[in-house]
Structure 1
Amino acid sequence: MARSLDGLVLAPVADQAPGQVGTRTRFAYHERDGEIWAEYAGGDVVRGHLVGTREGDRLDFRYVQLKRDGTTASGHCVSAVVELPDGRVRLEETWEWESQPGSGTSVVEELAADGG
């Protein structure tokens, strides 16, 4: 199993559709006893939260976010936790909106120590 997500900051490697999470979004993860949660913000997202569980290298969580235009959105995501050759963590995500139509995949990676 890859290392704990607790205290890690991750960011998407590519922008999603307008009004969604993008490369300027930062996720601050927490993990304890199989529970995961995170706060996120940046880009078109003013404030977001996710909460769920981790079993081995699989995350299963729901997310809710407030966007700059004042609307909210929520959905469900399942992620695979992958350790990169340089030791950083990558999450390979499959998500689906529950508050609106749409689904897709995305990748977020732990920021390097230099913040990049």
Structure 2
Amino acid sequence: MARSLDGTVLAPVADQAPGQVGTRTRFVYHEQDGEIWAEYAGGDVARGHLVGTRAGDRLDFRYVQLKRDGTTSSGHCVSTVVELPDGRVRLEESWEWESQPGRGTSVVEQLPHDAD
């Protein structure tokens, strides 16, 4: 299994639809005994949480978020953990909203140690 995501900070490599997760969003992941969870915020997202499981390089989790406009939304995501040549982690994600229409794919990558 790839290394633990515990304490890893990741950010999207591209903006999603307006009002959603974007390049200013930061995810702080935690992992213990096959469980994963994260807090995230930034851009149009005031606060978000995800919780799920990890089996090998596959993450399966539900997410819920509060946007700055006061609306909430939730969904399901399956991600594949990929180690980049420079040692950072990338998550290749396939997600679907459960609280509203919409689905898609996205990529988040670990920030370099000297980045914010």
Q: TM-score, normalised by structure 1?
A: 0.99
Map Cα deviations across residues 5-46 of structure 1 (whole Å, 9 max, x no partner). Answer: 000000000000000000000000000000000000000000
CA root-mean-square deviation: 0.6
Listed as ranges, the matches of 1:16-35 within 5 Å are: 16-35=16-35
- Name the residue aligned to 1:4: 4
What CA distance in whole angstroms lies between the structure 2 residues aligned with 1:114 and 1:14? 20
* Match in the other structure for 1:37: 37
Q: Unmatched 5+ residue regions in structure 1? A: none
Instruction: Indicate the residue corresponding to 1:112 in structure 2.
Output: 112
CA deviation after TM superposition for structure 1 residue 68, in Å: 0.7
- State how many pairs are aligned: 116
Match of 2:50 in 1: 50
1:72 aligned residue: 72
Give the gaps of 5 or more residues in structure 2. Answer: none
CA distance in 2, matches of 1:45, 1:2: 29
Structure-2 separation of matches of 1:87 and 1:48: 27
The list of structure 1 runs, each at least 4 consecutive aligned residues, that deviate by more than 2 angstroms after superposition, is none
